[in-house]
Amino acid sequence: MEAGGLAWLLGPAQQLVSWGAAGAMVFGGVVPYVPQYREIRRTQNAEGFSTYVCLVLLVANILRILFWFGRRFESPLLWQSIIMIITMLLMLKLCTEVRVSNELNIKRRSFAAADSKDEEIKAPPKRSYLDFDLNYFWHWSKFADYVQCVLTFTGVTGYITYLWLDSSLFVETLGFLAVFTEAMLGVPQLYRNYQNRSTEGMSVKMVLMWTSGDTFKTVYFILNQAPFQFSICGLLQVFVDIAILLQVYLYSYYPQKPASHPAHPASAKAL
């Protein structure tokens, strides 16, 4: 009777733990960006946050969704990708608005050709359809340009995936690219900190949440026997997070000489 009662209690408890872990996987990934989002809104300064973090996560999660069509993994990981894409678009929207409001005299850049009737973007009369100047890639002046770029990438990769969906080699490679790209998430921020010789403007809370979330995520992958690509790249992601935390310690207690930047305000924003 006692064994039966214990089993009756353990069943629902295990189910609750399972639901909690799934919920943490779906929404836990976006939590680190809440303090960074609030910090940017409060200070109206996006200098400390690399928008290339958004690019990395958008690419990674789009590829992960496409990978799901070839190899169905757990649905919480699929929903996590969808939620993350929405979050990154919101971050991009805020960063773009803040940056443009602080650069009133800077020449506007766009992904697609600007409308000559648009008074906000004073583009030259003649310009190509796409502006792929690498110095300004992912540093456009309107949120709509980022959306167009993301949709173009999704359309092209989606079409390629449709054509090669029957190839197990392609599907496995796609899965590896998805999680490896996500594992490189912290690299733009790592490089930005190194360029500035400082972590000022970066939310340390965000990085701490990255580290705890990535650790939890990696353990989740291993325990739930997710595709091996997920576990390997999860470990790599944790190592990058730790490297950023080491930068916080290094630049706080051993201040570095700031890297010299050109006088032009826009050129200081390489990332």
Q: How many angstroms separate the CA atoms of 239 and 10, rounded? A: 36
What per-residue confidence (pLDDT) applies to 262?
Answer: 40
Q: Could you give phi then psi for residue 112, rounded to 5 degrees? A: -105, 165
Q: What is the pLDDT of residue 82?
A: 94
The pLDDT score that the predictor gives to residue 249 is: 86
- pLDDT computed for residue 45 by the predictor: 87
Alpha-carbon gap, residue 168 to 184, rounded angstroms: 24
Nearest to 59 by CA among 137, 152, 144, 153: 153
Contact 141, 154 (CB under 8 A): no
pLDDT at 107: 55
- Among the listed residues 53, 34, 27, 28, the one whose alpha carbon sits nearest the alpha carbon of residue 203: 34
The closest alpha carbon to 186, from 176, 197, 199, 173, belongs to: 199
| Residues facing 130 on adjacent strands | 112
H/E run at residue 217: helix 204-223
Residues paired with residue 112 on neighbouring β-strands, in sequence order: 130
Alpha-carbon distances, residue 152 vs 109, 128, 145, 189, 225 (angstroms): 18, 17, 11, 25, 33
User: How far apart, in whole angstroms, are the C-alpha atoms of residue 85 and residue 126?
Assistant: 34
Residue 185: per-residue pLDDT: 75
Q: Would you write out the chain's pLDDT as a tens digit for each of its 271 residues?
A: 455 555 566 666 666 766 676 677 777 778 878 888 988 999 888 877 888 889 989 999 999 999 999 888 778 888 989 999 999 999 999 999 998 888 765 555 666 654 444 444 444 444 443 445 667 788 888 899 999 999 999 999 999 999 999 999 999 899 889 888 888 878 878 888 888 888 877 778 778 887 888 888 788 778 877 777 778 888 888 888 899 999 988 888 777 655 444 433 332 222 3
Taking only Cα atoms into account, the Rg of the chain, rounded to an integer number of angstroms, comes to 21
Cβ-based neighbour number of residue 252 at 10 Å: 12
DSSP symbol at 117: T
Q: What is the pLDDT of residue 89?
A: 96
Closest C-alpha to 67, from 225, 227, 174: 174
Domain parsing of the chain, residue ranges: 16-104+137-253
Q: Angle 28-31-36 (CA atoms, 0-180°, nearest 5)? A: 155
